[in-house]
Each structure stands twice: as structure tokens, then as C-alpha cells.
A and B are shown apart, each in its own frame.
Chain A
Amino acid sequence: MASVYEGPIQALIDELGRLPGVGPKSAQRIAFHLLKIPPEDVARLATTIVEAKRQVTWCRRCFNFATGDLCTYCLDERRDRTVCCVVEEARDIVAVERTHEFHGSYHVLQGAIAPIEGVGPEQLRIKELLARIGDEGITEVILATNPNIEGEATAMYLARLCKPLEIRVTRLASGLPVGGDLEYADEITLGRALEGRRDL
């Protein structure tokens, strides 16, 4: 969009437009909203952004978001350190935590192998995971990468690296979503669901 506003207004629109998922129209709407609300509200938002950026870092151990050296999961002594759930992004930890089924540790790869994007294993936190397996006495690695082509490639690559370490390597099961319709299930998902069927 051409620069049609006064300097600082256009600068604000341009900055907001750089955020993910915010197009020129949305940027303009947010900018005018910010200009309309009381100055203290804007100051609070600005301070929150600056403080969050200043305080939040990567956990030294698992590469989750942390406000100190270690994240809350790594600091929690009650968690089982022998089982490690490997996820692509920090937000995936929240998804796993919501199940209340897992009480082990985590490791965030900060991405997935994406051959078509040129993202290789060396750009992920794989070396750090292998070091943790050796140092922390991990006996099981749960590969919880996304069930898409990038996630599957990453899981296969990690499984190949972990196998010689003589630890248990598991992959999250694939199956039918609860509340879904069988007729809409794709062949791969249904095939895997049949393979992984359980006795009742």
C-alpha cells in the first residue's frame, strides 16, 4: 500500500503490517485503534511488549520459552526425567500438557526438517537432544512431531540417530479424531488406526 498518511502514522501501520497474519488493512485498523485509545493503555501495551522481549529467553536445557535459565517444566522436580517428549515448537508443549497424560520432560527442536524449504537437521536442536540423552539418563524419547511430511521426516531422522543409543524410541499414534466421521477419514490415517487398533 502506498504511503498516504503522515510520517508517524504510516510508520506505525508499516510496523504492524510486518507482524504475521496482519495485512495492510488490518494494520491500518489496529493503528487507528491505538491512536484512539488513552495514552496510558498504549504505554502499557508498549511496556508489556518490551518487558516480554527482555525477560523471555530460551530454556538452556529444553529450548522452551523461559523467563530464567530454565523453563517451568525443567525446574519441576516432580517430572520424570527419564522420558523426553520431542516437539517441533514451544506451543506444542502446551497442547501435550492440556492432555494431563504426560509427566516427563520436553525437548523443543525449534522447527522440522523441511527439504523443500532447505531446512536441514543442522538448523534444529538435534545435537542438544543427543547430548541430553547421554547426560540426563533419558531411557525413552517420544517423537511428537507433527504428522505431516516435515514432521514424519524429522521423526524418521531422529529415530535413526537414537536407535544406536539403545533407548526406547516411540512415535505418537496416528488415528481417528474424537468426534470425527469415519467416512471422512483419509486412507493413511484410517490405515494407521487399523494397524494400531486395541483390544476392548
Chain B
Amino acid sequence: MPTAAPGSARGQRLYRDRGVVLRSIKLGEADRIVTLMSEGHGKVRAVAKGIRKTGSKFGGRLEPATHVAFQCHRGRELDVVTQVETIDAHRALREHYGCLTHAVSMLEAVDQVALEREPDPALYRMLERALRTLAEQPSPAVSTAFFWKLLSLEGFHPVVDQCTRCGGPAPFRAWDLRAGGVCCGACVLGGRPMAPGTAETIARIVGGGLAGVLADPPDDRVLGEVERLAVASLEFHSERRLKSASLR
């Protein structure tokens, strides 16, 4: 099946796209409602009929984190999946508990911020690349970096080069969730204290230096701090709890 863009010769009700499966919930006896982050149609919710039967033509292709080419029939509220082909099943993610929980956190975060039927190709590409990177380099830094980049993409780029309250220079001692950036020693009141090296690591990640962070990761304490701040910032701005973060 070609991985063509939106629309089709048979009118607007049938469309093809590529996407990453974000989640799937049971529906009735043998169906599931799958949520996909697609390239051309934004977040799509569609019914996969008979998928829970062992002889289903969809098989395991619509499991979360799978990158697929799909065809859907547009419905009023829910679309109906008619064909699916796997582009990348990310098998490495499924066979390592740590990787799986990090991948699921990224999927949940995208599910929270993406809008239904609002195309966001940048978000789709970022998720797809992050899953591929996580499968190749299983490190908690990948999902942490994904969260920071997601915040940046959604308009909450972290401020790490000057104090968010007084504009003062480093060293920075705390993080202000509301302002979305660092605080210097004089403005630390009310901020979340952070370990030395945290701001520098966040700056490297959002500044295009993720490869460097993966090759030369900071110590576990700093990485843990960067991860906790990323989750807290994401939850603060999305106003929703990232449920899967507690299992990481």
C-alpha cells in the first residue's frame, strides 16, 4: 500500500496516511478504538473492527508505538480502519521493560497535546524519530529530551540562559515552573531547587546537542533531575498528570 498523503480518488471519505499508534482501548467483544498520531490528519481516533480475534487481518500492527501506513474511512466521530501496513514495529522497544515505559510516556504526552484532525507534521516526525532513537539507544535521556522538545514545540521553550525573574546570569539554583526557566541564587524563593549541571544539560538538549548527551550522559542524579523537571513542566503546562511517568 503506498504511503500517500491525504485524500483519495474515491472521494474524501477514504484517506491514507502514515502514523504512530498512541494507544488502543477495547470496544465491545472484539474491536478496539485506536488513537494514531498521523502525518497529515493530526490525531486520529478510529475503530479497528475484529482486531482482538486471533485471525484478524490487522494482527499486532495496531499495538501502541508501531509506526504504520494506514487507510481509514472517515466517520462522524470515529473513523474506521480499513487497511494497515507496518513501517516499523519498533520491536526492540517491546522487549525491554525500561524502553517500553519510556516509549509509553512519550505516546501519552503526545496524546495529551495533539489535537484531533489538526495536522501537526512536526509533532508526528518528532515522535517517530524519538521512538526510533529510543529503540537504537535505550536511554532515559531520549524520552526526557523528547519532553523538553515537545514543550518547545508547543510554545514553552525553556529559558536556561538567564534568570527568568531578574535576567541575571549563571549560576542558577532553581527552576520556576510558571515562568518555564531557571532562577538565580537571589531569586530562588518559590522555585524548585535543582542540582548543579541541570540547566546546562537542558540547554544542551534543547540546543540540538542530544546526540552529545546520549554519547556522554551526565551523572544519574542530574539526568534524574532533568527528567523530573521535564515531567513537572509538561504536567504544569498541559494541566494533566502524565500517568505513565510514575512507572518509569
Residues of A within 8 A of B (CB): 21, 113, 115-118, 120, 147-149, 152-153, 156-157, 160, 177, 179-180, 184-189, 191
The minimal Cβ–Cβ distance linking B67 to chain A, given in whole angstroms, is 11
Give A184 to B58 CA distance when docked, in angstroms: 7
Q: Which residues of B contact A118 (CB under 8 A)?
A: 241, 243-244, 246-247
Give A187 to B101 CA distance when docked, in angstroms: 22
Judged by a CB distance under 8 angstroms, whether B157 is at the interface is no
Asked whether, in the complex, the Cβ of B107 is within 8 Å of the Cβ of A116, the reply is yes
User: Which of A115, A147, A188, A191 has the most B CB atoms < 10 Å from its CB?
Assistant: A115
* Nearest CB in chain A to that of B29: its residue: A21
Q: List the count of A-B residue pairs having beta carbons below 8 Å apart.
A: 77
Q: Which residues of A contact B61 (CB under 8 A)?
A: 186-187
Partner of A117, one of B94, B107, B243: B243
The minimal Cβ–Cβ distance linking A184 to chain B, given in whole angstroms, is 5
Asked whether, in the complex, the Cβ of B57 is within 8 Å of the Cβ of A115, the reply is no
Partner of A149, one of B55, B65, B105, B241: B65
Give A2 to B71 CA distance when docked, in angstroms: 37
Asked whether, in the complex, the Cβ of B60 is within 8 Å of the Cβ of A147, the reply is yes
Asked whether, in the complex, the Cβ of B243 is within 8 Å of the Cβ of A187, the reply is no
Q: Which residues of A contact B28 (CB under 8 A)?
A: 21
Q: Which residues of B contact A189 (CB under 8 A)?
A: 59-60
Asked whether, in the complex, the Cβ of A188 is within 8 Å of the Cβ of B60, the reply is yes
Give A187 to B28 CA distance when docked, in angstroms: 26
Judged by a CB distance under 8 angstroms, whether B64 is at the interface is yes
* A152-B94 contact in complex given A120-B246, A188-B89, C-beta closer than 8 Å: yes
Q: Which residues of A contact B54 (CB under 8 A)?
A: 177, 180
Partner of B101, one of A115, A117, A179, A180: A115
Q: Which residues of B contact A148 (CB under 8 A)?
A: 60, 63
Give A157 to B247 CA distance when docked, in angstroms: 11
Judged by a CB distance under 8 angstroms, whether B82 is at the interface is no
Partner of B89, one of A113, A156, A185, A187: A187
Judged by a CB distance under 8 angstroms, whether B91 is at the interface is yes
Judged by a CB distance under 8 angstroms, whether B162 is at the interface is no
